[in-house]
A and B are shown apart, each in its own frame.
Chain A
């Protein structure tokens, strides 16, 4: 199937899903506001702390808020456009994957459009404002090249986030009827990347740079943007991390799918 055809189908399936949500799930603005509120309160937490102290390990307020917001924004994009990964345990345990396997469309594409997390919009909105403010108030030396690289880092960040979600949710093929517990735990590990990596022991640093490369979503981009010495150059591995996690996630998903047993007789 051609890539353009896949984009077209994704859009068609997505829009249909959106219509259904707008019609049946009147709750979406509550979700949106609660996501936004959660983020604002997280921001308040950082603000309260920085009100007492000037820096943490040499990291200024706006630098940390940037990292914090990157984790939330990528999560928001994940909810908004790839929420279906979180429905995987249902698709597998109730045998609903059958339907996807019967269609001449890549299964992963259909999984992506299984749902839409409108709450992502709240994340995106507040997170976007915080990132914007961080870039304005933080000490950034702007050049056209830098803007380009920041855009690239944003894209790799989203890819990494979605890939990890996909891989973690593929656990549904192995762990039966455990709900979303395992992927939620993996998701929570992103907390480790909300704050400067230098706070953590070596093992944690390696872990969030390799096994679950959350650090390439927030920390490494921050070191580049704010010109942190001591970490220079590491951000360049972001595309590698993105491609690597994408390939690994897709591999895990495919392998899981080959174990799919459907249900019933």
Chain B
């Protein structure tokens, strides 16, 4: 059985329909009218031990609701879940002991007490054995660079510091599963990098299963091999990241730096269909092409026929474009996959 397994998992919320004003409030009191809003339509999910899964979708798509059901916070309206072999809602405490979670916008730390004391409280809460705790603490402080702020209280930390402390707090007890909801939201590049490295290391060394929701496509490309896209409470894609890219991200760009200007090449490329050419300056330009029509070596050898190439680098199309297309409703993954 997979480490996370959901069958027909669904969640709906009942919302009261109130007309405005005092009259509406009174009317609601006598004859309450409610509508049921489905946040998550029946969905199936199975995630294996050690996987890193990106769970993405636009705001309000049902990402957080799913994560909250998997972590035992919300009671599902229907379907079944098994996480680490147990039902996370029915056996909340047992489940909680074996998962870690970071909810980006909300800290799990105690606001008024020093981080290091928060950690020591967590040690007692999760009943972490002494050697494990000491070892993890030492390692995490080092990896996440927490030395400078470990003695400050959470309220005094910057967002980046707090997020690092939260991440450490979520992993102190070596949970086999960790849910990360927007772990890099609002952070600068260097902190993002630290956090990603840390997650990679934990995943690699401890086989920790990582489920990540994010709007940051860098996170996804850097950390995840599997991508699940949810929209309007339904999963619209579940597969490998590279497959999405190879299927739907067809464009590839090569940046060149050359020894001397190449006017003939420029003219030639501009006439070729399927190739887009952009000049940065006389000796630097980029060539974008459809990777199914041309190979990279095609393009490079063509350029080299016209003169000396000093340097070049290649960039694959960003997953961002794919997901954006799906969000905008311009791309239906399932249809094209067939």
A–B in direct contact per CB < 8 Å: yes
Contact B60 A102 (CB under 8 A): no
Contact A99 B97 (CB under 8 A): no
Contact A265 B60 (CB under 8 A): yes
* A258 to B76 Cα, complex, angstroms: 10
B64: CB under 8 A from chain A?
yes
Contact B96 A101 (CB under 8 A): yes
* A97 to B106 Cα, complex, angstroms: 11
Contact flag A16-B110 (CB < 8 Å), given A261-B13, A265-B63:
yes
* A105 to B13 Cα, complex, angstroms: 27
Nearest residue in B to A97 (C-beta to C-beta)? B73
Give the bracket for the number of chain B residues in contact with chain A: 35 or more
Number of A-B residue pairs at CB separation under 8 A: 72
Nearest residue in B to A95 (C-beta to C-beta)? B106
* A8 to B121 Cα, complex, angstroms: 11
* A250 to B94 Cα, complex, angstroms: 20
Nearest residue in A to B103 (C-beta to C-beta)? A98
CB contacts (< 8 Å) of B64 on chain A: these are 262, 264-265
Q: Which of A12, A103, A265 contacts B96 (CB 8 A)?
A: A103
* A23 to B72 Cα, complex, angstroms: 34
Contact flag A9-B93 (CB < 8 Å), given A16-B113, A265-B65:
no
Distance of B205 from chain A, by nearest CB (Å)? 23
Name, among B13, B64, B73, B97, the residue most crowded by chain A CB atoms within 10 Å (CB to CB).
B73
Count A interface residues, CB 8 Å. Answer: 28
B59: CB under 8 A from chain A?
yes
* A96 to B106 Cα, complex, angstroms: 8
* A97 to B108 Cα, complex, angstroms: 11
Contact B108 A102 (CB under 8 A): yes
> A101-B71, A101-B92, A104-B97 known; 12 other A-B pairs, CB under 8 Å?
A8-B124, A16-B110, A16-B113, A20-B110, A20-B113, A23-B112, A101-B73, A102-B72, A102-B73, A261-B74, A262-B68, A264-B105
B residues near A, CB below 8 A?
13, 59-65, 68, 71-75, 92-94, 96-97, 99, 101, 103, 105-106, 108, 110-113, 117, 121, 124-127
A residues near B, CB below 8 A?
1, 5, 8-9, 12-13, 16, 19-20, 23-24, 95-99, 101-106, 258, 260-262, 264-265
